[in-house]
Amino acid sequence: MSVLDQASGLRRQALHDYPPSFAFFGADHCGQSTVAGELAAALALQRQRPLLIEHRNGQQLARRLGLPAAGTLGSVAVSLGDLNELMVSNRHGLTLVNLAASVDERTRLSPRIWRRLINEFASVEQDAALLLLDTPSLSEDPGPCCIADNLVLVLTPSSDSLMGGYAQLKRLAQDYARRRFNVLVNRAANFDEAQAIFSRLQRVAGDYLPVGLRWVGFVPDDNTIRKSQTLRRPVVEAFPDSEAAHAYLQLAQMLPQWHAPDDDTPRGSYLEHLLMTSKALADLTGH
């Protein structure tokens, strides 16, 4: 066997070593950042080694979890820094990597910086059990939702959330060929209300979109979440006996079982995939 054949075989094997990714998205004010952060905190408490990826500007996840602000992927071009500048961790084993950057900022990074970041990220990624992505608006940057293994639509009982969520399902299905979606209802009064919201979405989507929707659960409307955000601590840590904390801990236990990607083709590192997708999106939009 030649050296090239060996390298190719090792690469094929390595493609299977990366953990599954779960992208959280939804209409404005659905609480997707809170959901992603709380689930990551719950997974860390359960010693599941989550890697939380921030794609939104504003350091929202760091503030919610009581972590220090990190650099962003968009700032690396200026600082010429490494992945350590973008990464912070807590004492329970939760690691947050801030990849906030526009498509233009990603494509402007030099090949040398990309090679270094991809290699550094791949090492961190392979040590994680799963990736949770807090995604940007689809209108700003569809890349993370395009490439995530699994998509989790976060809804609330408001009509705006339902209409906005449906619009995003439609775009991901029609423009990016996504077919499978997990649906989580946030801030529901009770199980019956959450199920009713999911059923409404399922009826409309079933009539007009070629998608499969899977109910994965709900988080109750609980004032302790707002209290924990004021304290800059996750609710699963600050108020472990609250209804919301119990919901997040139960959802975190089930989250690995949500893994059912549209495409079973093995992929490389998430950051490598993001770079390739960014370039493709830039070519499509002419930027």
The answer to whether 218 and 199 have CB atoms below 8 angstroms apart is no
The answer to whether position 236 is within a domain reads yes
Is position 244 within any domain? yes
> What pLDDT shows up at residue 30?
97
Query: At residue 231, does pLDDT exceed 90?
Result: yes
Burial class, 159, CB count within 10 angstroms (exposed 0-12 / middle 13-18 / buried 19+):
exposed
pLDDT tens-place string over residues 173-199: 999 999 999 999 999 999 999 999 999
Element (H, E) at 94: none
**Residue 192 in domain:** yes
Please check whether residue 228 is in contact with residue 197, taking contact to mean a CB–CB distance below 8 angstroms.
no
CATH classification at residue 104: 3.40.50.300
| Residue 119 in domain | yes
5 domain-assigned: no
Q: How far apart are CA 97 and CA 88, in angstroms?
A: 7
**Is residue 17 assigned to a domain?**
no
**What is the number of alpha carbons within 13 Å of residue 204 lying toward its C-beta?**
13
How many folded domains does the chain comprise? Answer: 1
Closest CA to 251 of 179, 154, 111: 154
What are the residues facing 52 on neighbouring strands?
A: 96, 132
* Alpha-carbon gap, residue 148 to 24, rounded angstroms: 10
The mean per-residue pLDDT over the stretch 220-248 comes to 97
Q: Is 6 part of any domain?
A: no
At 193-226, the pLDDT tens digits run 999 999 999 999 988 999 999 999 999 999 999 9
β partners of residue 43: none
- Strands 95-98 and 87-89, by their bridges, are antiparallel
Number of other CB atoms surrounding residue 214 within 10 Å: 14
Query: Is the model's pLDDT at 7 over the cut of 50?
Result: no
Percent of the chain with pLDDT strictly greater than 90 = 78
Domain limits for position 121 = 24-285
* pLDDT, tens digit (0-9, with 9 covering 90-100), for 17-26: 799 999 999 9
Residue 4 within a domain: no
Instruction: Return the SS3 of 30.
Output: coil
